[in-house]
Amino acid sequence: MACELRVALTELGVTFIKLGQFLSVRRDILPLELAQELSLLQDQVPSFSFEEVQTIVEKELAAPLSHIFQFFESYPMASASIGQVHRAILKNGRSVAVKVQRTNLARTVHEDLVYMRFFIGLAKVLRFKGDWQGWFALVDEFERSIFIEMDYLQEGLNADKLRQILRNFPAIIIPRVVWRYSTKRVLIEQLCEGTKIDKISSFADIDTKRLAKQMVQAYLEQIVIHGYFHADPHAGNLAVSETGQLIIYDFGMMGYITDSQREGMLRLVLSIMDNNLSRFIESFTEIGIIRPISQADRDRLEKVIEPVWTQFRRYPISDIDLSIIEKEIDLLLAHQYFRLPANLAYLIRMVVSLDAIVHALNPDFNFARVASPYFKRIIST
């Protein structure tokens, strides 16, 4: 059934592909098997014609292509559900990547959202079993998410902010936005080409162990120090330059964690180090994973969380496996006492994706050992 649903969402088009991807991180509301199947959804949407591209770009920039570009490649170098990217050269000789949004995308998404709300409302009226009010709220959340991702000006601002955060990481490249020629539907960036991250193992001159460590350090800087991160580090959004630098693409999906959640994560680490179960539970509450509970439920909660606590205590914190953490969180979310805030869903998705890429580069990589200095840095402050 899960596979059939994934195929159906793909056939329904852009909005439903994005909806499936959005739901795949919400393991607190979907069965694990279904969430894993939806995580396989890809932006498998045919590219649109160069004639459409030209019409959109000329309308957005209020000028013929020939007035802005000395060259504009007709075939896209990349294509996805929201838009596609073309190589081009500006009149000043600067090589750029031009990201162009699909025609009438906003109208299509709006119409699809109306249908979603209609069927949820119908199910509620007919009294089908389910938390239909919760699904209304989820569609509202999805609407906010997809329209933020569709705003290319916001994506450009995200790129600038991330570049500032990683300014002390010379091994990381964030393409620069050409603001003069960028709008909500057309984004022009510095052309930064490289080998896709999942293809570099065949290149003998790339130090993959060093690259894995640099990548994790860059993402830890984002999460632990700044609480703002690139939320979509899959193989299509990461590449390696000829000089061995990591190139990050696509800043439409960014994540954040609040100061209180970061403090809760720090206390979580300290509770494991101090062998303090009570503080361990309190830190989960601070992070937002435990629902508000009565004192009467406290003992039952401890029994639910004790196997997770035992799993954490089996190894030194530097040897904890992220895949084990993911599995334990999935098990916790099956209980009534737990929930998964939307921003943490993106964080977990990001960490799991990053962990898979890093271990492909270096099977012996230890995430926790690299993370340790960042937590010590916070503890010292």
- DSSP state for residue 246 in the 8-state scheme: E
Task: Read off the amino acid at residue 210.
Answer: R
Residues 158 and 252 sit within 8 Å (Cβ to Cβ): yes
Using alpha carbons, select from 214, 223, 168 the residue that is nearest to residue 370: 214
User: Which residue carries 């007035």 as its tokens?
Assistant: 67
Q: Are strands 238-240 and 246-248 parallel, antiparallel or unpaired?
A: antiparallel
Comparing CA positions, the residue from 18, 44, 6 lying closest to residue 236 is 44
> SS3 for 193?
coil
- The strand pair at 78-79 and 83-90 is best described as antiparallel
* Catalytic residue (one of 28, 112, 151, 232): 232
Of 222, 184, 161, the residue nearest 354 (C-alpha): 222
State how far the Cα of 361 lies from the Cα of 365, in Å rounded to an integer. 8
Judge whether 131 counts as a catalytic residue.
no
Q: Would you state the structure tokens that stand for residue 137, as one six-digit string?
A: 């709220």
Angle between helices 342-361 and 208-220 (to 10 degrees): 160
Interatomic CA distance for residues 285 and 281, integer angstroms: 6
Query: Helix 342-361 to helix 322-332 angle, to the nearest 10 degrees?
Result: 150
Phi and psi torsions of 229, nearest 5°: -150, 155
Cα-based angle 179, 184, 187 (whole degrees, multiple of 5): 50
* Cα–Cα distance measured from residue 155 to residue 39, given in angstroms and rounded to the nearest whole number: 23
Residues with active-site annotation: 232
